[in-house]
Chain A
């Protein structure tokens, strides 16, 4: 047996392991092939920057007329955005009343911001969201409180995109949960129905669901009742998303160990209490990433309403640059629209990461 009598001195790590040089060595130049890769990537980045920066920034035309943009040597024509912004954001909404959708979007963003602050979570926030729905209805339709009525046939742009995706998400979420539970239930009839629904909807492209919704939904209503285009599209999205969410939720349900069900049973909890209090809270927490993935898809998929003639954000931008003098600057317009989509999707993604982290910190698992 040996006994250590003197302790080894505490030393600083070797210089090559710390600081910027250490980091470079450890991460970018730690082998011959990595060094080559680093240099190639670096060269590529430089190439892209020197190609894009002059066009997008240095030579760009920020304000002005199409003439200014067509001047020789002119870069990106951001002026088109300023010129067409109102139409892109609000579509055919009555021009003088466009402060209303703007206010509605502002309210929405405010609430989204508030929802990101964990401290504010509670009953009040839920009521604020419920109130938001009414505020939107009042602002968008008007017809009360001295606001002039604006038919929803005229709605368009960003409010339409936001509304369709939020409503689809909020309505499809509980439907998806019920479908997932149905698919795993012991009752053959309920299970069969849920499986049929999910597989049918998942088996067809969203475009055809939208077409079917616009053609078939009127058939389910008595003659004379007209279900308008917007509502039909909304129903189509909701049906589609709910089938996908059902599968996402089912994956979560399957990941919950049998012991959790048994412990709940042994305590005498009934089916619904067991699901609501024990199984779903754990299952839904597990599937936050794929769930948000579906939400993001839906948000972007709303642009498909173009095929049934609704003017969502993307379609509004497209129509806006149809104006002959600006026609050649559609790239700038699409970049602008892409940035708006990106901002929303990125927020959702970040929000879900935060949520995941907070929830796992709480239970320290």
Chain B
């Protein structure tokens, strides 16, 4: 293990726990989609979640900001437990940003309006201030010149970068990514990954569902493998990729790495 890795590991061990998922179960009707999931994420930690289609990756991260409701177990985000209490849910959603596979930008609003909407209506910032913040983050994702366009006029990669900027405008403490590059043409994947890498370098706590193994190797502190609603294996990237323990992980890795 390199000294940098070692230092990073110690730093994370000392950091407070930011997300705590314990014994979480979830069902869709009869279907047991999450089965006793346990996961603790330290502040500033970068986690990549992978696994076969239908294994419950999206469901897990969507439980963290309550887009889906879990039926058993506890989820505590930044000290607040997710319950049916609407107040708690609102508090957590302000702290947690989310980026979707299909961007989900608001097509009737300009890029700038997409970014200022939540700061103005949720945080009640004055419009001028919200716009200044939005421009700062649009510069950060390198598309300030597109601010007055509508999402429909942008390329997929640009749209996804706007979606990231839109989330960042709420200054979240945690960012969730659900396959942010899967809907993109290959030549646009890099521009989005670059933005995510720079976010990671700034110390953002990130949970990222992705099959970009290069990204996992270079950015993740921990890689989690899920299958059929369970966390099968988790490890630091070097170990995870070079020395997988379970048969299912080996099978999965052989399938995606051989492409």
* Residues of A participating in the B interface, judged by any CB pair closer than 8 Å: 257, 259-260, 262-263, 265-270, 273, 277-278, 281-282, 285, 362-365
Contact = CB atoms under 8 A, between A and B. Distances in A.
Given A268-B90, A269-B118, A365-B152, 19 more contacts: A259-B102, A260-B104, A263-B105, A265-B66, A266-B96, A266-B97, A266-B98, A266-B167, A267-B118, A268-B93, A268-B94, A269-B117, A269-B121, A273-B121, A282-B107, A285-B108, A363-B150, A364-B152, A365-B150
B59 to A, nearest CB: 13
Contacts of B66: 265
B72 to A, nearest CB: 22
8 contacts: A259-B102, A262-B104, A267-B118, A268-B90, A268-B170, A273-B122, A278-B106, A365-B152
A232 to B, nearest CB: 39
Nearest to B113: A277
Given A263-B104, A266-B93, A267-B93, A277 B121 contact: yes
B153 interface: yes
Nearest to A273: B121
B166 interface: yes
Nearest to B118: A267
Contacts of A257: 104
B23 to A, nearest CB: 25
Contacts of B117: 267, 269, 277-278
A268 B150 contact: no
Interface in B54-98: 65-67, 90, 93-94, 96-98
A269 B100 contact: no
Interface in B155-187: 163, 166-167, 170
A266 B68 CA distance: 11
Given A267-B166, A273-B121, A262 B67 contact: yes
Given A265-B93, A268-B93, A273-B121, A364 B106 contact: no
B106 A263 contact: yes
Contact of B118 (A262, A268, A282, A363): A268
Contacts of B100: 259, 262-263
Interface of B: 65-67, 90, 93-94, 96-98, 100, 102, 104-108, 117-118, 121-122, 150, 152-153, 163, 166-167, 170
Contacts of B167: 266-267
A263 B106 CA distance: 8
Nearest to A359: B108
Given A259-B100, A277-B117, A362-B150, A265 B108 contact: no
Contacts of B108: 281-282, 285, 363
Nearest to B169: A267
B68 to A, nearest CB: 10
Contacts of B90: 268, 270
Q: Which of A260, A262, A267, A364 has the most CB of B within 10 A?
A: A267
B207 to A, nearest CB: 13
Contacts of A260: 104, 106
Contacts of B121: 269, 273, 277
Contacts of A268: 90, 93-94, 118, 122, 170
A270 B100 CA distance: 19
A268 B124 CA distance: 12
A342 B75 CA distance: 62
Contacts of A270: 90
B89 to A, nearest CB: 9
A285 B106 CA distance: 13
Contacts of B67: 262, 265-266
Contacts of A285: 108
A277 B107 CA distance: 12
A16 to B, nearest CB: 40
A262 B167 CA distance: 13
Nearest to A365: B152
B137 to A, nearest CB: 14
